[in-house]
Amino acid sequence: MVSLIVRIIVNGLALWVATELVSGVNVTDTDTATGQVITLLVVALIFAIVNAIIKPIVKLFTFPLFILTLGLFTFIVNALMLSLTGWIADVLNVPFQVDSFFWDAVLGALVVSLVSWILNLLLPK
């Protein structure tokens, strides 16, 4: 349970960095810092659920592309998961959006992956 909460917080921090660095990944309609933090935690929870349920299925069906591209297709799958998170957030009226798939989702997913990796290195096991 603690590891799930830590993973959601790490995802929330990584998503916050992505919103700061990538212009097409935004938290909208939040006037306060508390509102932004709550929104990012909700989006991080959505992102964790998408990565836990849908990502393995997508990876299974696209396995030949992973082999063919020597793993570089991972960036596209991660961008797809971020775009799906933005879509689900929109359906749930959570003020989070990913503007376009190609630049915004791919760059956002790259930032989220790098920040999550760095934070997980810094955290004790």
Confidence of residue 102 (pLDDT cuts 50, 70, 90): confident
At 95, which amino acid appears?
Answer: P
C-beta pairs of 72-79 under 8 Å, 24+ apart in sequence? 75/106, 75/109, 75/110, 76/106, 78/109, 78/110, 78/112, 78/113, 79/105, 79/106, 79/108, 79/109
44 CB-contact burial (10 Å; exposed 0-12 / middle 13-18 / buried 19+): buried
Domain ranges of the chain: 2-114
Flag whether pLDDT at 1 surpasses 80.
no
Confidence of residue 124 (pLDDT cuts 50, 70, 90): confident
Confidence of residue 107 (pLDDT cuts 50, 70, 90): very high
120 half-sphere exposure, CB direction, 13 A CA radius: 13
pLDDT at 63: 92
Flag whether pLDDT at 116 surpasses 90.
yes
Mean pLDDT, rounded, of the chain: 91
Confidence of residue 31 (pLDDT cuts 50, 70, 90): confident
Q: pTM of the entire structure?
A: 0.90
